[in-house]
Amino acid sequence: MSEQLDTRLNAMTVDVEDYFQVSAFEPHIRRVDWDTTPLRVQANVERILDLFAEHDVKATFFTLGWVAQRHPGMVQRIVAEGHELASHGWEHIRANTQRPTEFADDIGRTKAFLEDVGGVAVQGYRAASYSIGRDNLWALDALADAGYRYSSSIAPLRHDLYGMPEAPRFAFAAASGRLAEIPVTTLPLAGRNINCGGGGWFRLFPYAFSRWALRRINEREQQSAHFYFHPWEIDPQQPRPVGLTARTRFRHYLNLKRMQPRLQQLLVDFRWDRMDRVFAEAIAAPAGLQQPAFAAGQFDGLGGSAGA
């Protein structure tokens, strides 16, 4: 019986960006310097593809247009090996710093470019640093207008840089039922939602915690989780820019050496597949999902109560 429960599928995802493109490095590495900074993303993605092939895992790669433009062969390998190609925006500009016209241009350009290079339809989008929340819910409508079918851009938790703790923890209908939003995987513990779907938390907590949390979501809540990580997280040799704050250093470099073995254990302990297959039902019929009031354009009252 428990073996059967353990077979629930979860989605494995990779946010394809280089180490210097993370939001926390914005004050330290200027965008104009990106083109003269040696790139490490392709080599790291190649290692990830090898790892996935070894474990027979298919995944979703949320890819920056900027990276795809420089490494089209890498994008084509992602597609050729049976993974899902999805969009992480053009150059990691956080959605909540963009005007609606800028956002529309960004997501449209990225989708068209990835489809051209990859030769496949792009249905999924993840905002840089989970930067869709209560202040820019219009972005979900823009994604549906641009032809995206799902988004994985909201973090239903409290964090200093992002988060919308009042958002549902599991897939919900956005853009008047035209788009499925599949939020970061969290577990409620001691009155707050804890991120158990990847990022710094996965490197901070002992692996046993992550395994326990994901099993709890699969078995007790009978829900699929999704996990995210970045190519730079399996690259302990990456250059370390000077001048980073202590908090950024802690978050970015913590336990990088432990990441790959932990990831391998995660690949063994759970069953994984692409976002578009794990959440196929939600993506095919978003109108049938739970629809929170804010996603129906009635979030004025909620915005006030959630502002604390």
Placement of tokens 């190519």 in the chain: 231
User: What does the angle CA 149 – CA 151 – CA 156 come to, to the nearest 5 degrees?
Assistant: 145
Q: Is 18 in the site for Zn ion (CB under 5 A)?
A: no
CA angle 45, 87, 12 (to 5 degrees): 55
Nearer to Zn ion, 37 or 291 (CB): 37
**Binding-site string for Zn ion from residue 148 to residue 187, where x marks contact by CB under 5 A and - marks none:** ----------------------------------------
* Cβ burial 37-74 (10 Å sphere, 16+ → b, else e): eebbbbebbeebbeebeeeebbbbbbbbbbbbebbeeb
Of 17-25, 170-178, 180-188, 233-241, which part binds Zn ion (CB under 5 A)?
17-25
Rounded Cα–Cα distance for residues 119 and 74 (Å): 13
128 or 146, CB closer to Zn ion?
A: 128
Nearer to Zn ion by C-beta: 87 or 218?
87
Tell me the per-residue interface mask from 73 to 112 with Zn ion, x by CB under 5 A, - otherwise: ----------------------------------------
Cα(101)–Cα(114) distance, integer angstroms: 20
Cβ contacts of 198 within 8 Å, gap of 6 or more: 13, 184, 185, 227, 228, 229
Residue number, 198 or 286, with CB nearest to Zn ion: 198
Residue 198 corresponds to which amino acid? G
For Cα atoms 78, 81, 84, give the angle at the middle one, nearest 5 degrees: 55
Numbers of helices and strands, H then E, in the chain? 13, 11
259 versus 295: smaller Cβ distance to Zn ion: 259
Q: Would you say 64 or 295 has its CB closer to Zn ion?
A: 64
Minimum CB–partner distance for residue 15 and Zn ion (Å): 4
Q: Which stretch binds Zn ion (CB under 5 A): 8-16, 39-47, 110-118, 252-260?
A: 8-16
β-strands 186-189, 124-125 pairing? unpaired
Comparing every residue's Cβ against Zn ion, the nearest one is 15
- Contact range with Zn ion by CB under 5 A, out of 11-19, 74-82, 200-208, 210-218: 11-19
Among 240, 222, 223, CA closest to 232 = 240
**Smallest distance from the beta carbon of 177 to Zn ion, in angstroms?**
27
* Shortest reach from residue 231's CB to Zn ion, in Å: 10
Residue in 131, 66, 69 with CA at minimum distance from that of residue 103: 131
How many residues of this chain bind Zn ion (CB under 5 A)? Answer: 3
Cβ closest to Zn ion, residue 152 vs residue 218: 152
Q: Are 150 and 124 in contact (CB under 8 A)?
A: yes
Site stretch for Zn ion (CB under 5 A), options 12-20, 110-118, 212-220, 256-264:
12-20
Q: How far is the CB of 235 from Zn ion (least distance, A)?
A: 15
**Nearer CB in complex with Zn ion: 9/29:** 29
In contact, 132 and 94? CB cutoff 8 Å: no
Q: Per CB under 5 A, which of residues 116..155 are in contact with Zn ion?
A: 128
Give the residue with the Cβ less far from Zn ion, 96 or 218.
96
Query: Cβ 100 to Zn ion, closest distance in Å?
Result: 21
Is 15 near Zn ion (CB under 5 A)? yes
- Tell me which residues touch Zn ion (CB under 5 A): 15, 17, 128
